[in-house]
Structure 1
Amino acid sequence: MRILIIGASGTIGRPLCSALEPRHEVIAAGRKGRDATVDIRSADSIRALYESVGAVDACVCVAESGALDRFEDLTEAGLLENMRGKFFGQVNLVLIGQHYLNDRGSFTLTSGIFADEAWPGVTGGAVISGGLHSFVLSAAIELKRGLRINAVSPTMITDSAEDYGHLFPGMVPVAMDRLLAGYTRCIEGRGTGQILRLYGA
């Protein structure tokens, strides 16, 4: 398959590319992508990306992360800014990408644990992940030509625990190999409309 990975230079993106490249042609994209550049906050940039890389069999997004917030200071504008990349960017990858993917191609988006578990300081992240889950369920019954869509919803990753674990005391991270297996299942499997919750060790 030709697989477009957006956010390929990030914590998840780098090992995901390495895991897939022995079996597939991987196009590594991002703001400073190895093979292609894209700013998923811009619909024009997303459209230009699809035009430049040509037809692909799968699009995987592991880019962007929701910013921390203080509920007492939270505003509509702050929520919208937080949603611009991780929510609207991923949604646009699908809305625009449905016209570029090959028949029976797939989209794999990334949400997160805060859709299901409340933690202080991540209201924006919770709204984003919950919205992505609803979008995936709806898109799965609307997409044509056998296109599939799924979301991987991880907790904190073991590789990030040293840097961010103090912000989420008591949160059990997920091992990278288990996370990569989840993305691979979405890409190489046949399921659609699935939210793959990878919480815990």
Structure 2
Amino acid sequence: MKILLIGANGEIGKILKPEFAKKHEIISAGRTSGDFNVNITDVNSIEKLFQQIGKIDACICVAGDCYTGELLSLDEEKLNIGIQNKLLGQINLVLIGQKYLNDNGSFTLTSGKMGDKPVKNNSAKAIVNGGINSFILAASLELERGIRINAISPAKVADIPIHELTNAYFKSVESTVNGEIIKVNY
């Protein structure tokens, strides 16, 4: 498969890229590194990326910043970090990217444990991750041409055995699951 990995130089991307490269053609993209540069907060940058790459079989996104801090410090500006970057960035990848995905292709987005099991000082992450999960559930009902969409919802990456994390992403890309929030190491 020809797979676009966005955030390939990040914490999760560095784990996934070599594993997926064993079996698939990987095209890496990131804000400042990779085969292509993309700013997922900018729809024009996303469109340009897909135009440059052309047709693909799968898109995995492990990119997106989000604010961490106590509720009393949270304001619209801090909340918008995650909304604009992680939530809308990943949604726009799907909205734009669906026309570049081959029939029966797949999107794999990344949410996180805070969407289901928030802890103190993570209200922004809870909102953003919950939004991603809800988008997955709804979008899976409407994507056409057999295109599937799932989210991987990991706990803190440092606490997850690498094989559990990679298996979750492989499940999303290589199996037939659709509309699933695949939880890893809760």
Matched with 1:180 is 166
For residues 79 and 34 of structure 1, what CA distance do their matches in structure 2 show?
A: 28
How far 1:81 sits from its partner (Å)? 2.7
Matched with 1:125 is 125
How far 1:124 sits from its partner (Å)? 0.6
- RMSD over equivalenced CA pairs, Å: 1.1
For residues 139 and 129 of structure 1, what CA distance do their matches in structure 2 show?
A: 15
1:1-201 superposed matches below 5 A: 1-158=1-158, 173-200=159-186
TM-score (ref. length: structure 2):
0.96
What is the letter of the counterpart of residue 175 of structure 1?
Answer: P
DSSP 3-state at the match of 2:141? helix
Q: What stretches of structure 1 move > 4 A for 4+ residues in a row?
A: none
For residues 144 and 33 of structure 1, what CA distance do their matches in structure 2 show?
A: 32
Q: Provide Cα deviations, 1:45-90, integer angstroms capped at 9, x if missing partner.
A: 0010000111000000001232212211322332123211110000
Matched with 1:164 is none
Matched with 1:169 is none
Structure 1: 5+ residue stretches without partners: 159-172
Q: Provide Cα deviations, 1:69-121, integer angstroms capped at 9, x if missing partner.
A: 22113223321232111100000000111111111110000000011112111
The answer (yes or no) to whether the contact 1:154–1:198 under 8 Å persists in 2 is: yes
DSSP 3-state at the match of 2:101? coil
DSSP 3-state at the match of 1:141? coil
**Deviates further, 191-200 or 2-11:** 191-200
What is the letter of the counterpart of residue 160 of structure 2?
Answer: V
DSSP 3-state at the match of 1:105? strand
DSSP 3-state at the match of 1:151? strand
Q: Provide Cα deviations, 1:2-55, integer angstroms capped at 9, x if missing partner.
A: 000000011111221100112111001101232111010111100100001110
Larger Rg: 1
